[in-house]
């Protein structure tokens, strides 16, 4: 089980202030999570093939190509301010 000092150290790293009562609660909760991870280490996964994701799909991105947009005028109407069919914004320096 984690010590109270370890829990307080974790809270300090997370920049979270906790009371003594919360320290005791988190001491039990974090220890339970760590115990669960220890149980997971016992699971035999030697025969399981490592995967990055469950779908099996790879590189399913579309080709990046420029296309004409049909509703340019409708989009320009939505701009708060426009000039020559471009959205006009304040300068950023």
What are the residue boundaries of the structural domains of the chain, listed by start?
4-41
For the chain, give the percent of residues with pLDDT over 70. Answer: 100
Higher pLDDT, 49 or 10: 10
**Could you tell me the pLDDT band of residue 52, with boundaries at 50, 70 and 90?**
confident
What gap in Å lies between CA 9 and CA 26, rounded to an integer?
A: 12
Average pLDDT over residues 58-72: 83
State whether CATH 3.40.1350 applies to domain 4-41.
no
pLDDT of the residue at 50: 83
Per the prediction, the chain carries an average pLDDT of 89
The tens digit of pLDDT for each residue in 22-50 reads 999 999 999 999 999 999 999 988 888 88
Higher pLDDT, 91 or 6: 6
Tokens 């399981």, residue located: 48
pTM score, whole prediction: 0.50
Tally of CB atoms within 10 A around 4: 13
Distances in whole angstroms, Cα of residue 6 to Cα of each of 11, 13, 26:
9, 10, 10
Tally of CB atoms within 10 A around 7: 22
């Amino acid at each position: 089980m984690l010590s109270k000092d370890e829990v307080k150290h974790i809270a300090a790293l997370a920049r979270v202030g906790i009371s003594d009562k919360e320290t005791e609660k988190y001491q039990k909760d974090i220890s339970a999570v760590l115990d669960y991870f220890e149980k997971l280490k016992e699971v035999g996964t030697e025969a399981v093939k490592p995967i990055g994701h469950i779908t099996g799909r790879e590189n399913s991105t579309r080709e990046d190509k420029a296309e004409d947009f049909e509703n340019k005028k409708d989009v320009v109407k939505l701009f708060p301010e426009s000039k020559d069919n471009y959205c006009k914004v304040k300068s950023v320096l």
